[in-house]
Chains A and B, each alone.
Chain A
Amino acid sequence: MKIELKRSRLEVRLDYKKLKLAWTIEPRYWRNPLLAWLALCALPLLSLMGGLQWLSIFTTANLCATIALPLLLQIIGTGRVNLGPQLFVALGGYTAGLLSINYKMEALQTLPIVIVVALLVGLSLSLLTILARGIYFSLITLIIPLVFMEITFVFSDVFKGETGIYGITPLFRLGSHLINSIAYYYASLMILTLYLFLVDKILRSRWGMVYAAINNDEDVAMMMGVDINRHKIFVFTVTSVLTAIAGWFFAHYFGTFAGVTYLPFTFMIKILFIVLIGGRAQAYGTIAGAYFVSILDELLRSYLGNISHFVFPSILLVLLVALPEGLWGIYRKHKYREIYPTIRIRR
C-alpha cells in the first residue's frame, strides 16, 4: 500500500498480486463525506473526556437525521411538504413498545412487525399524494399525528396516555452504562449511514432524476411519459417505513415511549429545520444540520436556561434567511453538473 500526494490530492494505491486499486481522497475539500464520517466514528472518544450526556445528544442527533433523511427524499419525490412524518415515528415506537411489553418480545423480533405495520399504513396514506396537493396535503398530514395523539389519550389503558409505555426491552444489554451508550451511538450511526447511502444513491440514479422532475412540475413529467402516481406511492411508502424504523430505535433506546414527546408539532419543527438548515434537501447537509441543531439546542439550554425557548428558534430563523442554500451551500462546488433538486413546490 502506497500513499502519495499528487496535485494536492491524496492518492492511496494498493497493489496486491493482480489486484490494483487506486483511490483518490481530496482533503482540500474538508467536506469530503468520508472524512466527515470518520470524524463521526471518532466522536465517542470525545465523549470519554467530556461526559456521557454528550454521547446521548449525538445519538439523538443521529436519530433526528434518520428521520430527516427519508423526509427530504419524500419531499423531493412527491413534490409535497409532509408535516407529519412523526406519525410514523410514533407508529414504530408504539408497535415496538406494545409488542415488547405485552408479548415480551426482543428488539429484533419487533422490527419485522414494525416494518409490516408501517408498510400497510404508509401504503394506505400514500393515496393522499394523489388526492391532495400543496398546502392541503401539508394540512392533512399535519392533522393526522394530532388525531393519533388524541387516540393515545382516549385509549389510555392501551397506550398509557401521558406517561407513556415504559419497561420496553432495550436493544443492547452489555453490562456497563458506558459500553451501552457507545453501542447505541454506533448502532444509530450505522442506521444513519445506511439511510444516507440509500438516499444519496436514489437521488443520483434515474429515479432521482424523475423525483426532481416530479418536484419541479409533475404535470409536465406526466406528459413526458412518467407514471407519476406509481413513483409517488413508492416514495411515500418506502420513506414511511424508514421513518418507522427510527421510531422503533427510539423505543428500544430509551426504554420508554410516549406519544406526547414525538407527536406534537414542536418535534416536527425541529426535523423540518434540520432539513432546511442542512441545505434545502441535500442529503449530506442534513447530517450537518442535525448535529448543528442538536448541539445548539443543548448549548443554549444549558447556558441560557428558559430564554433559550425563543432564542433557539430565532437563531434558526435568521439562519434560514442568511443561508439560502443551508450549511451545505457553503461548501458546495459552484459548478454543478449533477441533478440538483431543492424543495420547490408548485401550488
Chain B
Amino acid sequence: MKVQEMALLNVQGVTKRFGGLVALNNVELSIKEGEIVGLIGPNGAGKTTLFNIICGFYKPDAGKVEFDGRNITGMKPYEICKLGISRTFQIPRPFPDLTAIYNVALAVMYGKDRANMSLGDALLDAAHYLEFVGLLRKRDVLARDLTPFELRLLELARALATTPKLLLIDETMAGLNPVECERALELINRARDEFKLTICWIEHVMRIIMKAAERVVVLHYGMKIAEGAPEEVARDVKVIEAYLGERRARG
C-alpha cells in the first residue's frame, strides 16, 4: 500500500484500440517520484500511444490513469498540463511563426494558472528557460528557421516552462549526432536535478537509455513484456526476441 501511495503516476490496465488494431493491451506502469524510467520497444509497440493517453490526447478504451493521487482519465489535455505533466514530441512541433522566446513564453503563461501574468513577465521567465537549454542568443529567431538540434532544445525548454512534475520525453535523440546526444543527455540530467523532475523517457538509442535510466519498461505489440534495471532487461530472453527475432534469442 505504501508503494502505491509513493507512486507519482499510476497507469492501470490501459487498453487502446484503433479500429481492429490493439495498440495497447492492459498496460500497467507505475512511476515513483524522482525516477527516470526508460520506455523502450520496437517500432509500433505503442509507446507514443501510451504517452498520448497519459497526456489526455487520446482516451483509453479501458483502464485508468492516476497522477499525484488523482484520477486523470478523460481529462482535457490542457487540464492535465496544468496539473503538471508535460511532454516533448517525437518530431519537433514548434509554432513556426512565433520566435523562439514566444514559443516558450506561451508555455510559461498557460502551463499553469497564471491569469495575472503580463506578457513581459512571461518573456522574462521564458528567457530563463532558454538560457538553461543554451538557446538564449537565438531568442528572436523564428522557430521555422532553427536547426533540428535547436528545435529539440526548444521543445525541451517549452516542456520545462510549464513547470511539470512529470516530464515525458519522446525520442529526443532521434536524428542527432553522438556529440549532440551527449549534450542532450547532460542537459536532461541537469534539468532533472534543478527542477526536481520525474522523467519517463522513450528512446531508441540503447546506449543512452542504458546509461540514463534507473528502470526500463519494455513494450511489444502493446503489451508490457519486461521491467527492471537496464542490465537485467538487456539480458531478458523475451526482450532479445522482440528486438532481434526468435533465432538470435535461442542462440
Contacts and interface: CB of A to CB of B under 8 A. Distances in A.
Contact of B96 (A209, A216, A226): A216
A78 interface: no
A177 interface: no
A227 interface: yes
A226 B97 contact: no
Interface of A: 205-206, 209-210, 212-213, 215-217, 219-228, 335-337, 339-342, 344
Contacts of B118: 206
Contacts of A342: 97
Q: Which of A224, A226, A228, A341 has the most CB of B within 10 A?
A: A224
Nearest to B158: A224
Given A206-B119, A210-B110, A336-B142, A220 B55 contact: no
Interface of B: 55, 57, 76-78, 81-82, 87, 89, 93, 95-99, 102, 105-107, 109-112, 118-119, 122, 140, 142, 158, 162
A213 B98 contact: yes
Given A219-B57, A224-B162, A340 B110 contact: no
Given A205-B119, A206-B119, A209-B105, A225 B97 contact: no
A224 B81 CA distance: 6
Nearest to A214: B95
Contacts of B76: 222, 227
Contacts of A210: 106, 110
B162 A337 contact: no
Given A209-B119, A223-B77, A225-B162, A344 B96 contact: yes
Contacts of B93: 217, 219-220
Q: Which of B87, B93, B98 has the most CB of A within 10 A?
A: B98
A341 B106 CA distance: 14
Q: Which of B99, B110, B112 has the most CB of A within 10 A?
A: B110
Given A209-B106, A225-B111, A336-B142, A217 B81 contact: no
Contact of B97 (A215, A222, A335): A215
Given A225-B82, A225-B110, A344-B97, A209 B102 contact: yes
Contacts of B122: 206
A48 to B, nearest CB: 44
26 contacts: A206-B109, A206-B118, A213-B98, A216-B95, A216-B96, A216-B98, A217-B93, A219-B57, A220-B89, A220-B93, A222-B78, A223-B77, A224-B78, A224-B107, A224-B158, A224-B162, A225-B162, A226-B110, A337-B140, A339-B97, A339-B98, A339-B99, A339-B102, A340-B99, A341-B98, A344-B96
Given A219-B57, A340-B97, A225 B107 contact: yes
Contacts of B142: 336, 340
Nearest to A76: B97
A212 B81 contact: no
B26 to A, nearest CB: 26
Contacts of B158: 224
A228 B57 CA distance: 13
B215 to A, nearest CB: 25
Shortest 8 CB-CB contacts between residues of A and residues of B: A225-B110, A225-B81, A216-B95, A225-B111, A222-B77, A226-B110, A225-B78, A224-B107
B109 to A, nearest CB: 6
A215 to B, nearest CB: 7
A3 B136 CA distance: 39
Nearest to A343: B97
B132 to A, nearest CB: 18
B106 A213 contact: yes
A219 B158 CA distance: 15
Contacts of A222: 57, 76-78
A223 B110 CA distance: 10
B98 A209 contact: yes
Contact of A227 (B78, B111, B112, B119): B78
Contacts of A219: 57, 93
A221 B97 contact: no
Q: Which of B89, B99, B102 has the most CB of A within 10 A?
A: B102
A225 B112 CA distance: 7
Contacts of A344: 96-97
